[in-house]
Structure 1
Amino acid sequence: MPDRPIRFLIVDDVAENIMALEALLRRDGLVVDSARSATEALELMLRHDYALAFLDVQMPGTDGYELAELMRSTERTRGVPIIFVTAAEMDEARRFRGYEAGAVDYIFKPIDPMILKSKAEVFFRIGRQAKDLERQRDEMQEIARHRDQAMAQLKAHADNSPLAFVTLDRDLSVRSWSKGAERMFGRAAGDLLGLPATASGWLDQGGADLLHDWLDCRRDDAPRFSAELSLDHADIGPISCEVYGSVLTDGAGRPTLSLQLLDITERKQAEEIRALLIGELNHRIKNTLANVQAIARQSLRQSASLADFEVSFGGRLQALARAHSILSDATWASAPLDQLIDDQINSGTLDADRLRRSGPPVELSPDTMLRMALTLHELGTNAAKYGALSSVDGMVDLSWRLEGGALVLTWRESGGPEVRAPQSEGFGTTLISAAGGGDPAAVSADWRPEGVVWTIRIGDGVTRMAAPEAVAAPGAAAQPRPRSLKGCRVLLVEDEPLVALDLRFELEDAGATVTGVARSVAEAMEAGRDASAIDLVLLDGNLKGEPVDAIAAMLDDQAVPFCFVSGYGREHLPAGFDHAPLIEKPFRPDTLRSVLTGLLAARLPAE
């Protein structure tokens, strides 16, 4: 190893000669070994590396010349410098033999200390330089090993990175093209290396001008830049990329541009879609509010009393809310007409036992769905008040067909009281007429004595469903016999103050007692601990962003009946509580009372 000391070897059969040479050679950083015979010397040379060997010429057995020849015949000892030590006069023949055996010099006895030290100094320095060179060699090898590891790691990162790494020279010719660049742009490195980036169409002229500006920047440090560029993909054309550039210099001092590129095509598309969705959301919200405003105003104008307004406006608002829920489940794409009809049945607007429906499976666009929801609500409400559904034997036939891409829907009533055409059109008739999308000729009413027949033609927003699905007409839900809420103790769990106030008013108007209003999970858990003080709980589906699973589980454990009151659909409510009814916001007072009395009636037999 490079940190080992420098060693000299003395080979002499006379111990006093060895001691004398050791004394003269002694110095820091030098180890002097000695051997009394050629055999000992060869054993030492197999264990250590020597910078110089002093060999006595005259030794019994194997003399110095023979030992030198043995050293030269072995790879390990061949390079050890040899100085012969002798007391004999040297003739040319003997001197030649010594040099032929590998000697570099002679020292004659008696030894001159100055000559010995000066010659030894030369080989000590050579040995030290050799050690330094070994150390430097090892250090360079270690540095090279670390460099190779770092280069391999960097290449692996570059090849596996989602970024593309590209290096361009002063003329924007491609000098390096990573595996990530091959994946990102569908172009092999072999097709681009050495060629101008604009020649292949990968970089357009505008991008080339920008990169030239980066290269022309005069600064002492390595300037760094960033921009968004459109770069060409071999198969799909231009893609949007974020480009980060650093101006560096190569070994010859020439500027190069190191680029890191990130494909942001999906992000740009997402941003465009988000902007479009926000615009569409704003549009839908404003349209919805405008519709609610119009419904409120017109309902108020044509209501005989505040109670009539509450019933008509609440029913229409509920129809809109349920249609929104259907569209939300369909991510505001088209939704089936049959699903809208089922929703009218579930809400109580239509009676499944007295409704016959037929027609091909079709889907309605969001705008058409919302108009049709109001239309069916008005038709069902009018039939229940004045038409076929106001009589025990009355029936409604609802059929539809497709004609040239348009939907023709027929509402036919029969079995009810004698029908007469109204003297004037009310707001309900206006809502029914709106189903035609504003075309007055698209909606017509035939006021037959045996029952009115409405014909509605919808030209836009109708699509035949690709795979017809069997529609099971739901039977009439077996509602428990209504029981009075008078004296019922109710806990409200609701974080919206106005909604809580409205619920409290309706409950107290029905004769119930509101024991408290909990606006957080912690408050609800505390208020619900005493189950004996509560008959019923109205539970919001979410309290200030917190889920209400723990509250529902506690109420189930205590056998306290509860229902959800929420703007969420069933799929967004706590799982495992499907037995708890759902009252959707905004709620109808009659629906609220019906659901709560049903819960109480279901509990009474067990008590």
Structure 2
Amino acid sequence: MSEHDKVNILLVDDQPAKLLAYEVILKELGENLVVATSGREALEILLKNDIAVILVDVCMPELDGFELAAMIREHPRFEKTAMIFISAIQVSDLDRLRGYEMGAVDYVPVPVVPEVLRAKIKVFAELYRKTRQLERLNLELEDRVRARTAELERSTAQLVASEQRRSMALAAGKMGSWDWDWVSGDWMWDEGQYRIFGVDPERFEVTSTNVQALMHPEDVDRLRKLVGEFARGVRTYEAEFRINRPDGEQRWCAGTAAATVDRSGRVIRVSGVTIDITERKRAEERQSLLAREVDHRAKNALALAQSIVRLTRAETINAYVDAVEGRINALARVHTILSLSSWRGAEIGRLVADEMAPYASGTQVRAGGPEVSLQPATAQTLALVLHELLTNSAKYGALSTRSGQLSIGWQTVDDMLAMTWEETGGPVVREPTTRGFGTRGILAGIEAQLGGQVSFNWRPEGLICRLEVPVTERGPVHHRSERYDSVEESLQTAVR
């Protein structure tokens, strides 16, 4: 037996001869024998050492065996320490009962039979040793359990963090994942899948029938054929499809699926990821529409410029060049305004300011009114109208002299824009006997193209022109090329 495995056996007796006899008898056990000649000495030893068995004499001066046993049992460390009483006198049953109540596990009468004493001590020493071994094993097991628990907690925390990152990535990418048991037909959806399909996880039961009911009817057969390919050896597929949400919204999705097979090659599970690509599809549609719009706008701008070049009239080449350049520059300015708004519209204040820019440094021109957003076609027509009025004013009206004044004001009534062009302080005005190209162009653009109204008041002190045009489009929506065709036809009519 190694020193580590030996246990301490405390021998308590006030007679040294008896102690020596006990040591001789118990030496064969190979344990550590500790002796005490009194109860107080025994208590001191107990407080400093771990004791497996206590062999104590009942009859001792000052502190007998029963009193010592009572004091030992009061200490938490020694509540279960085995104590064997040795008595040289005949004890009654009451004495035995008292001894057992004090914590004795056995009695040994005197004269002591060595074999009996060794056997009793050996049993309790071995029991103590096994108990300590079990305690050590329990501690080791608890340490391993704690270590394993901590490891599991770390792994769980990592899995939770990983799942959170995955969920965040799926949510950010408008993605969802799913799993379908090929054999039982059971489905598993994550939160992203429910979100894409627009259904409540608490109310929607994920079954093949219910999932198919959310698919666009035109895509169901194609998807069913793709799934059927798994049974014929295909392991993955990718497809785009549409879903109809319960709220009526249609969404575009891209799906990727992969099959899991057993050792025999039989499909047992299909897992996949769904991505909401509605915004991408809409962007593609907008891009396609924008490409068509750019093509039409380029053709229409060229057509309108061609019409201006072909229909402009002038007495000299220089006058012709000035007229053409002025009108094309007016179109270029409004084109810039519309481009800045992605062709959603043009603010009338910016439109008027750009046309009046050559005269903005002085005090001849005053303009003001509420901000109104004009449709692209309205803005282009109004830009040409303002250019014609400005050109006439600079040649023959208020802006042809330094004393002349021009006031431009506008307001909205219902869905109509009412603009007033008023000149004062210029040369005396006389009503023209015939309508020139500019006047007829104004009439054609406002009345024929936009469905508005134009009135001219040729006062001697200055022209007053009133325009009314709809702020919003009226009537059937025509293609822009058709609109510009009608403009050119109106201008041709004006020239005739």
Q: Distance in 2 between matches of 1:247 and 1:226?
A: 12
1:324 aligned to 2:349?
Answer: no
Query: After the TM superposition, which of the residue ranges 245-254 and 235-244 deviates more from structure 2?
Result: 245-254
Compared CA separation, residues 212 and 442, structure 1 to 2 (3 A): closer
Q: Which residue of 2 aligns with 1:457?
A: 468
Partner deviation per Cα, 1:377-409 (whole Å, 9 max, x = no partner): 221111111223223433334344555633343
Alignment of 1:436-455 (within 5 A): 436=446, 438=448, 442-455=453-466
User: Residue 235 of structure 2: which of 219, 223, 227 is its match?
Assistant: 223
2:373 match: secondary structure = strand
Q: Is the 8 A contact 1:388 1:395 kept in 2?
A: yes
1:71 aligned to 2:145?
Answer: no
Alignment of 1:502-517 (within 5 A): none
Aligned-residue RMSD, C-alpha: 4.9
Q: Which residue of 2 aligns with 1:182?
A: 194
User: Residue 259 of structure 2: which of 240, 247, 266 is its match?
Assistant: 247
Alignment of 1:24-423 (within 5 A): 37-39=30-32, 67=122, 70-73=125-128, 74-77=130-133, 152=160, 155-160=163-168, 161-162=170-171, 163-170=175-182, 173-192=185-204, 195-198=207-210, 201-203=213-215, 209-218=221-230, 223-235=235-247, 237-249=249-261, 255-299=268-312, 301-302=313-314, 304-305=316-317, 307-348=318-359, 353-357=363-367, 361-400=371-410, 402=412, 405-414=415-424, 415-421=426-432, 423=434
Q: Distance in 1 between matches of 2:234 and 2:155?
A: 22
Q: Cα distance, 1:65 vs. partner?
A: 8.5
Q: Distance in 1 between matches of 2:461 and 2:217?
A: 78
Q: Is the 8 A contact 1:419 1:452 kept in 2?
A: no
Q: Distance in 1 between matches of 2:243 and 2:314?
A: 63
How many pairs were matched up? 365
Partner deviation per Cα, 1:356-397 (whole Å, 9 max, x = no partner): 556555332221112111211221111111223223433334
Partner deviation per Cα, 1:70-91 (whole Å, 9 max, x = no partner): 33443354699xxxxxxxxxxx
Q: Distance in 2 between matches of 1:237 and 1:171?
A: 33
Compared CA separation, residues 188 and 64, structure 1 to 2 (3 A): farther
More helix by share: 2
Residue type matched to 2:250 in 1?
P
Q: Cα distance, 1:459 vs. partner?
A: 3.4
In our comparison, the structure showing a higher alpha carbon Rg is 2
Q: Cα distance, 1:202 vs. partner?
A: 3.6
Unpaired runs of 5+ residues, structure 2, are 7-27, 34-49, 51-113, 137-144, 475-496
Q: Distance in 2 between matches of 1:462 and 1:410?
A: 21
Q: TM-score, normalised by structure 2?
A: 0.58
Q: Cα distance, 1:240 vs. partner?
A: 1.6
**Bigger relative contact order, structure 1 or 2, given CA contacts below 8 A and separation 6+?**
2
Partner deviation per Cα, 1:543-583 (whole Å, 9 max, x = no partner): xxxxxxxxxxxxxxxxxxxxxxxxxxxxxxxxxxxxxxxxx
Q: Distance in 1 between matches of 2:184 and 2:338?
A: 54
Q: Distance in 2 between matches of 1:192 and 1:76?
A: 59
Q: Is the 8 A contact 2:422 2:463 kept in 1?
A: yes
Compared CA separation, residues 143 and 381, structure 1 to 2 (3 A): same
Compared CA separation, residues 159 and 75, structure 1 to 2 (3 A): farther
- Indicate the percent of aligned positions where both proteins have the same amino acid: 26
Q: Cα distance, 1:451 vs. partner?
A: 3.8
Q: Distance in 2 between matches of 1:191 and 1:369?
A: 53
Residue type matched to 1:385 in 2?
K
Q: Distance in 1 between matches of 2:413 and 2:239?
A: 55
Query: After the TM superposition, which of the residue ranges 444-453 and 238-247 deviates more from structure 2?
Result: 444-453
Q: Which residue of 2 aligns with 1:47?
A: none
Q: Distance in 1 between matches of 2:206 and 2:322?
A: 79
Compared CA separation, residues 441 and 36, structure 1 to 2 (3 A): closer
Q: Distance in 1 between matches of 2:308 and 2:117?
A: 126
Q: Is the 8 A contact 2:349 2:368 kept in 1?
A: no
Residue type matched to 1:37 in 2?
G
Compared CA separation, residues 424 and 204, structure 1 to 2 (3 A): closer
1:302 match: secondary structure = coil
Q: Distance in 2 between matches of 1:398 and 1:10?
A: 113
Q: Cα distance, 1:310 vs. partner?
A: 3.6
Q: Distance in 2 between matches of 1:68 and 1:235?
A: 81
Q: Is the 8 A contact 2:397 2:427 kept in 1?
A: yes
Partner deviation per Cα, 1:456-491 (whole Å, 9 max, x = no partner): 33235489xxxxxxxxxxxxxxxxxxxxxxxxxxxx
Compared CA separation, residues 64 and 37, structure 1 to 2 (3 A): farther
Q: Distance in 1 between matches of 2:402 and 2:206?
A: 90
Q: Distance in 1 between matches of 2:217 and 2:374?
A: 49
Q: Distance in 1 between matches of 2:156 and 2:166?
A: 15
Residue type matched to 1:337 in 2?
I
Q: Which residue of 2 aligns with 1:48?
A: none
Q: Is the 8 A contact 2:230 2:259 kept in 1?
A: no
Q: Is the 8 A contact 2:454 2:468 kept in 1?
A: yes
Q: Cα distance, 1:154 vs. partner?
A: 5.5
Query: After the TM superposition, which of the residue ranges 363-372 and 435-444 deviates more from structure 2?
Result: 435-444
Q: Distance in 1 between matches of 2:232 and 2:404?
A: 93
Q: Is the 8 A contact 2:331 2:380 kept in 1?
A: yes
Compared CA separation, residues 187 and 76, structure 1 to 2 (3 A): farther
Q: Distance in 1 between matches of 2:473 and 2:231?
A: 65
Q: Distance in 1 between matches of 2:149 and 2:233?
A: 31
Q: Distance in 1 between matches of 2:311 and 2:134?
A: 116
Q: Cα distance, 1:143 vs. partner?
A: 11
Compared CA separation, residues 240 and 62, structure 1 to 2 (3 A): farther
Q: TM-score, normalised by structure 1?
A: 0.49
Q: Cα distance, 1:227 vs. partner?
A: 1.0
Alignment of 1:542-581 (within 5 A): none
2:448 match: secondary structure = coil
Compared CA separation, residues 313 and 256, structure 1 to 2 (3 A): same
Q: Distance in 2 between matches of 1:154 and 1:222?
A: 30
Q: Distance in 2 between matches of 1:462 and 1:333?
A: 13
Q: Cα distance, 1:141 vs. partner?
A: 10
Residue type matched to 2:195 in 1?
R
Q: Cα distance, 1:446 vs. partner?
A: 4.6
Unpaired runs of 5+ residues, structure 1, are 1-6, 12-34, 44-58, 81-136, 464-607
Partner deviation per Cα, 1:297-330 (whole Å, 9 max, x = no partner): 334x53512x334432332232222222333344
